[in-house]
Structure 1
Amino acid sequence: MNPNYKPIFYHELIDESEKGFAFRQRYWLRSYLGYPPVRDARPNTTHFALAALQHTSHISRLVTQNVDGLHAKAIAHLWGGTHIRKNILELHGTLHRVRCKYGHLTSRDTFQEWLSDCNPQWKEYMDGFERAGNQPRTNPDGDVELEGVSYDDFDVPDCPQCFLEDRRNSIHKPEVIFFGESIPAAIKDRSFRDVEKSDRLFVLGTTLATFSAYRLIKRALELRKPVLLLNVGPTRADGLPGIEKIEIASGLIIRDVVRAILGSKAVTDPVVADLLESGVLRPPIDDKERTLADSSRTMRLSKDGFRYRS
């Protein structure tokens, strides 16, 4: 949507030079402010409809490119963590965990606390948004749009585990696959196995722009498995022999489709009925509404930190 958006690449984020440190300041400040909306987001009606098909074993495996954890959140009250990890593959990782350069893993909530402790002025700034019931514009990867802001004073904390091992290290990365980073071999292999074990492939809400997803479609077609693509707008797989495509927003039809598949069980099974009545159903805020929301709050930088007013 934003042709001028410039993501931080993997090699930039882990660069040990002064330039890499500046990239991490930029990334973690924007991500620090953008994570709360991702953390607090609720699954929509499509997430819960798919959860109903998972609960009834009509969907045996779910592979998602999303890093927000909403597919897991939609079914977490029915499945334990082990079962979720077995049946839902996060192809591009998750924003909810952070790993340091030497492999030490921590929850994102804990890492947010470290960032708050190191940057009280930015904690105050973020609290101001929350008190006003407002949030800066957040992208799906948890990054926020900030203009005219210096990142020089943002402090990225050292890893406590590294400190116990007599080293200092402030190179951290969310467990998300960045541009220029390869998907781990184990994840790649599992994604192919999930396709190979399935009878058919239902592809929902993706342009298939990333090769990691597109190659799964290619693999399914090689194995002569039926592939149905539900997406609004063009995709990388358009025109491939063997692809059936429906251009309609999933939220408009998916619950009715699930009811048709499940028949009377959609009404008589209380768990399924609850899933099909759950979920946020709200269209995305448009650019005009965003502009009005953004203009309702202004930010200015004084010599002792940020001040904000409604």
Structure 2
Amino acid sequence: MRVSVPSIPNAILSSPSSAAKTTPAEAIERVAAFLAPGNVTTITGAGVSVDSGIRAYRGAKGRYLNPNYKPIFYHELMDPTPKGFAYRDTGERAAMVGAYRSVSYLASLYRLRSYLGYLPVRQALPNPTHFALAAMQYKGVIPHLITQNVDGLHHKALANVWDQSTLEDRILELHGTLHKVHCSHGHAVHRDTFQDWLSAANPQWKAFADNLEATGRKPRTNPDGDVVLEGVKYDDFVVPECPTCLEEGRHNRTQKPELIFFGESIRPEVRARSYANIDACDRLFLVGTTLATFSAFRLLRHALELRKPVLMLNVGPTRADGLEGLEKIEVPSGLVLRDVVRAVLCVYPILASEDPVVVDMLRSGVVKPPPEDDSEVDA
């Protein structure tokens, strides 16, 4: 099976930006004017979470623009063959590793890397961009938000004002979430529970993780919770069996986070809902995304086919650069969106300054971007 990592075409990467030079003040005015009429569906990408300490997939130092970086693919993680099953259950790793790039070996490697990488994502907090978008969601300017991110930070920004049902209705996680895990038979648990299972089955790796945290050593973490793991032997990592499957009389160690892996298809109901959100809006706003994955890029194309106004706020090249009908502003979202909210909500009956929820949101948000000098360790 041949599966490639979605990327930005080289022709775009090597071309100068077509976006007009824009000052922050000009960007605030233009974005506010675009959003003010309301009924705007918004699509966000990994760039939105950078200020929360989570690296982007692409852009400067993004792992997925490194041609030597090899992520785990869906068929590698969920290998259903007898060979893969026997390997997972017997732990005969060494011989297989020496012979070839074992599918099940990579699956175990990913689960270890994800075990170590989940903690930084779980501890991450929303930044000003999350809260600015949350304020506009709360006030109805953005009825629907589609995110490619799996970190749950959009949910955290609204957790104090919306219940879980409303969050799930207003925020569509296009690529799933890191905060849930399910086995190959569909038995789901919260990620914290799964982490506890892994800790109990791997006390040596629990001690390793505790030492990283105690010493302040932070492994370089990708947006999907996968960490860089080099120079470490992980042959002894154990993936526990699904307890519910055991109760049903079967052995099953094949468990994965509820996120979409490369080579895996988005669920039909999620795809249908994403198109419905585009159909229902009057305008489309794109923030912090390169649109390298077709799941998001085709939503943009759908909006353009419907002749809906589209505005992108993103720094750096994107797959959409040069498309007719797309307006792009190259200014960091964290630099302008708070002021955009103040400008937009002033045209509504209740001024932003009079709504304590909005006031609190505009005062909230961490700004802790990943280090620029690659000072994070290779765990």
Normalised by the length of structure 2, the TM-score is 0.75
Among 151, 154, 159, the alignment partner of 1:76 is: 159
Matched, 1:147 2:233: no
Alpha-carbon deviations, 1:217-275, whole Å to 9, x = none? 11111111110011111111111111111011100101011110012722111110000
Matched, 1:10 2:74: yes
Among 78, 89, 97, the alignment partner of 2:180 is: 97
Q: Supply the distance in 2 between the matched residues of 1:89 and 1:144 (Cα, whole angstroms).
A: 25
Q: What letter is aligned with 1:118? A: A
Q: Counterparts of 1:1-310 in structure 2 under 5 Å? A: 1-2=62-63, 3=66, 4-16=68-80, 17=84, 18=87, 19-263=102-346, 265-286=351-372, 288=373, 290-291=374-375, 294=377
Normalised by the length of structure 1, the TM-score is 0.92
Alpha-carbon deviations, 1:194-225, whole Å to 9, x = none? 00000100000100000000000111111111
Q: Is the 8 A contact 1:91 1:187 kept in 2?
A: yes
Q: How far did 1:20 drift?
A: 3.2
Q: Is the 8 A contact 1:94 1:176 kept in 2?
A: yes
Q: How far did 1:154 drift?
A: 0.2
- Runs of 4 or more above 4 Å deviation: none
Q: How far did 1:126 drift?
A: 0.7
Q: Supply the distance in 1 between the matched residues of 2:77 and 2:369 (Cα, whole angstroms).
A: 33
Q: How far did 1:129 drift?
A: 1.6
Q: Supply the distance in 1 between the matched residues of 2:113 and 2:377 (Cα, whole angstroms).
A: 16
- What secondary structure sits across from 1:244 in the alignment? strand
Q: What letter is aligned with 1:200? A: R
Q: Is the 8 A contact 1:159 1:168 kept in 2?
A: yes
Q: Supply the distance in 2 between the matched residues of 1:190 and 1:6 (Cα, whole angstroms).
A: 31
Q: Supply the distance in 1 between the matched residues of 2:180 and 2:126 (Cα, whole angstroms).
A: 19
Q: Supply the distance in 1 between the matched residues of 2:297 and 2:371 (Cα, whole angstroms).
A: 29
Q: How far did 1:283 drift?
A: 3.5
Specify every segment of 5 or more residues in structure 1 that has no aligned partner in the other structure, as ranges: 300-310
Counting matched residue pairs gives 293
Specify every segment of 5 or more residues in structure 2 that has no aligned partner in the other structure, as ranges: 1-61, 88-101
Q: How far did 1:284 drift?
A: 3.0
- What secondary structure sits across from 1:294 in the alignment? coil
Q: Is the 8 A contact 1:24 1:156 kept in 2?
A: no
Q: Is the 8 A contact 1:65 1:90 kept in 2?
A: yes
Q: Is the 8 A contact 1:207 1:236 kept in 2?
A: yes
Q: Supply the distance in 1 between the matched residues of 2:369 and 2:336 (Cα, whole angstroms).
A: 15
Q: Which residue number corresponds to residue 4 of structure 2?
A: none
Q: What letter is aligned with 1:32? A: Y
- What secondary structure sits across from 2:116 in the alignment? helix
CA RMSD of aligned residues (A): 1.3
Q: Is the 8 A contact 2:221 2:227 kept in 1?
A: yes
* Structure with more relative contact order (C-alpha pairs < 8 Å, separation 6 or more): 2
Q: Is the 8 A contact 2:217 2:377 kept in 1?
A: no
Q: Which moved more, 1:237-246 or 1:89-98?
A: 237-246
Q: Supply the distance in 2 between the matched residues of 1:12 and 1:175 (Cα, whole angstroms).
A: 16
- What secondary structure sits across from 2:179 in the alignment? strand
Q: Supply the distance in 2 between the matched residues of 1:200 and 1:277 (Cα, whole angstroms).
A: 27
